[in-house]
């Protein structure tokens, strides 16, 4: 068997209606994943639904509800190949109602493509997505300034959007000068700068979308850390039994090993691992897998459970200390505030039981000990108490399992990283 290309998990994020799904569909068409026949079928369907030019989006938005509403609701995974990588494309919802799926998408990604419509520029959702990418640990980022045809391929307008984006990215902590801003159009005949350079943007000298993907670095695999696999879903499959699915975050997973799910504290022997419908003997960080553990029933575990080795189980937190950053909140946050924390695939209401210090967001230095409250723009050290058992690891031991987003009132209030766990 030929050596496989390295694997890259790439998430596409962007404000609703900025053409994200359409751009991804065009990329799948340009790389041969979607055939001309399939595209013709989607085109017919799109015109029947009164959504002309949406045919590319239908390559990803598969559910009838998504096609009818014209928004991405769920996470979609699609595979395609570039000269360098085998890429798993994660289409993360842009609509604010579906942001928790977007968080799951960002937490699975090795790199991200932010889609911003040339005619609309930075939107509130754009800011939120950039912040989430940063807090979910996505270090590699590029931007597609999409729908460049709607501004008649105007370089000055493109540059104005780029300037706004550079400010936003720098504020969040990305090095804006290291990021490429690719002018793209998914719907024009040339597929401007998707696979080939666009003749209508001669002023643009950077990479195409596909060249950009190949310029991302392959992810480092933390195989030396203890095994951790957050469970995304649990299925019952005829002939196999209970099959949890998830992505290996750290460590190496091997058939025959003794494993345990936390916080439920149920375990057994790992019988099978399946990846892309093929049985494998082991799985490494970055692999999206389904697996079966002897003696585990569907009711024993759920989304948010974390698998680890029986002799080094995932840490269940009674309380934990964290450094957080408040992105947005209409008033102030005090002790007793109980938002929902999204950590890995878990979503658990956690109460702030102590605000230990307010920090300078840029340097991390303590500005104020034991403040009465924190507000938008503040960084702080707080202690959380989960409302039910949840897995949380420390930044100094398993950093991949130490980050979380803070959600409340339908918005991302902030994000954080766990620095110390008091075990349950």
What is the residue-level pLDDT of the chain in tens, covering all 424 positions?
344 788 888 888 887 677 777 888 888 888 888 888 888 887 777 777 766 666 677 665 444 454 344 443 344 567 788 999 988 777 655 444 444 455 555 556 789 999 999 999 998 878 878 877 876 678 899 999 999 999 999 999 999 999 999 999 988 889 999 999 999 998 888 889 999 999 999 999 999 999 999 999 987 889 999 999 999 989 988 888 899 999 899 999 999 999 999 999 999 999 999 987 789 999 998 888 999 999 999 999 999 999 999 999 999 999 999 988 887 889 999 999 999 998 988 999 999 999 999 987 656 689 999 999 999 878 899 999 999 999 999 989 998 899 888 889 888 888 888 999 999 8
119 in Cβ contact with 151 (< 8 Å): yes
* 55 and 194 within one domain: yes
Q: Rounded to an integer, what distance in angstroms lies between the CA atom of residue 74 and that of residue 91?
A: 8
275-to-10, 24, 182, 246 alpha-carbon distances in Å: 17, 23, 33, 10
* 256 and 191 within one domain: no
Q: Structural domain of residue 374, as residue ranges?
A: 316-423
Helix (H), strand (E) at residue 68: helix 64-69
Question: What is the SS3 assignment for 44?
Answer: helix
* 329 and 296 within one domain: no
* 393 and 279 within one domain: no
Domain CATH code at residue 296: 2.40.30.10
pLDDT of residue 163: 96
The domain tally of the chain equals 3
Question: What is the SS3 assignment for 107?
Answer: helix
Q: Rounded to an integer, what distance in angstroms lies between the CA atom of residue 384 and that of residue 20?
A: 36
Contacts of 37 (CB under 8 A, 6+ apart): none
336 in Cβ contact with 323 (< 8 Å): no
pLDDT of residue 93: 52
Comparing CA positions, the residue from 65, 83, 85 lying closest to residue 73 is 65
Q: Rounded to an integer, what distance in angstroms lies between the CA atom of residue 28 and that of residue 77?
A: 12
Estimate the crossing angle of helix 99-107 against helix 124-135, to 10 degrees: 40
pLDDT of residue 154: 96
Task: Look at residue 220 and tell me if it is in a domain.
Answer: no
* 14 and 105 within one domain: yes
Answer with the one of 287, 309, 331 that is the final residue of a domain.
309
Q: Rounded to an integer, what distance in angstroms lies between the CA atom of residue 121 and that of residue 123?
A: 6
pLDDT of residue 55: 66
pLDDT of residue 72: 37
286 in Cβ contact with 413 (< 8 Å): no
Answer with the one of 174, 189, 215 that is the final residue of a domain.
215
pLDDT of residue 74: 41
pLDDT of residue 25: 83
* 262 and 195 within one domain: no
* 82 and 195 within one domain: yes
pLDDT of residue 209: 94
Domain CATH code at residue 210: 3.40.50.300
Q: Rounded to an integer, what distance in angstroms lies between the CA atom of residue 349 and that of residue 341?
A: 6
Q: Rounded to an integer, what distance in angstroms lies between the CA atom of residue 190 and that of residue 207?
A: 16
137 in Cβ contact with 405 (< 8 Å): no
- H helices then E strands: how many in the chain? 7, 25
* 254 and 190 within one domain: no
pLDDT of residue 379: 84
* 233 and 201 within one domain: no
* 320 and 297 within one domain: no
The distance from CA 8 to its chain's CA centroid, rounded to whole angstroms, is 13
Estimate the crossing angle of helix 155-172 against helix 124-135, to 10 degrees: 40
Task: Look at residue 24 and tell me if it is in a domain.
Answer: yes
Answer with the one of 309, 338, 360 that is the final residue of a domain.
309
pLDDT of residue 79: 77
* 367 and 414 within one domain: yes
The distance from CA 224 to its chain's CA centroid, rounded to whole angstroms, is 23
* 249 and 340 within one domain: no
């Amino acid at each position: 068997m030929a050596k496989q290309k390295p694997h890259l998990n790439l998430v596409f994020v962007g404000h609703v209606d900025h053409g994200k799904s359409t751009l991804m569909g065009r990329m799948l068409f340009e790389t041969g994943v979607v055939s001309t026949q399939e595209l013709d079928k989607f085109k017919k369907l799109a015109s029947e639904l009164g959504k002309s030019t949406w045919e590319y989006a239908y390559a990803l938005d598969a559910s009838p509800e998504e096609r009818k509403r014209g928004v991405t609701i769920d996470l979609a995974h699609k595979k395609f190949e570039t000269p360098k990588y085998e890429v798993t494309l994660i289409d993360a919802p842009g609509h604010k109602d579906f942001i928790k799926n977007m968080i799951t998408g960002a937490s699975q990604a090795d790199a991200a493509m932010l889609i911003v419509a040339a005619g609309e520029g930075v939107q509130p959702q754009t800011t939120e997505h950039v912040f989430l990418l940063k807090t979910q640990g996505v270090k590699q980022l590029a931007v597609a300034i999409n729908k460049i045809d709607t501004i008649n391929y105007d370089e000055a307008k493109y540059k104005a959007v780029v300037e706004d984006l550079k400010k936003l990215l720098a504020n969040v902590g990305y090095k804006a000068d290291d990021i490429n801003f690719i002018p793209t159009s998914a719907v024009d005949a040339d597929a401007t700068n998707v696979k080939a350079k666009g003749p209508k943007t001669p002023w643009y000298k950077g990479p195409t979308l596909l060249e950009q993907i190949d310029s991302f670095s392959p992810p480092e695999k933390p195989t030396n850390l203890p095994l951790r696999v957050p469970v995304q879903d649990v299925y019952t499959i005829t002939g196999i039994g209970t099959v949890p699915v998830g992505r290996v975050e750290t460590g190496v997973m091997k058939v025959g090993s003794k494993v345990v799910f936390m916080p439920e504290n149920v375990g057994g022997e790992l019988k099978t691992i399946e990846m892309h419908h093929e049985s494998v003997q082991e799985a490494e960080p970055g692999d999206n897998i389904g697996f079966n553990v002897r003696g585990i029933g569907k009711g024993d575990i759920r989304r948010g459970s974390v698998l680890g080795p029986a002799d080094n189980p995932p840490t269940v937190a009674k309380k934990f200390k964290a450094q957080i950053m408040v992105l947005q909140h209409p008033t102030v946050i005090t002790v007793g505030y109980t938002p929902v924390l999204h950590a890995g695939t878990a979503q658990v209401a956690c109460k702030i039981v102590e605000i230990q210090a307010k920090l300078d967001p840029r340097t991390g230095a303590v500005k104020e000990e034991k403040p009465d409250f924190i507000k938008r723009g503040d960084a702080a050290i707080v202690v959380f108490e989960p409302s039910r058992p949840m897995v949380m690891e420390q930044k100094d031991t398993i950093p991949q399992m130490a980050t979380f987003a803070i959600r409340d009132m339908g918005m991302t209030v902030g994000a954080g990283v766990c620095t110390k766990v008091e075990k349950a």
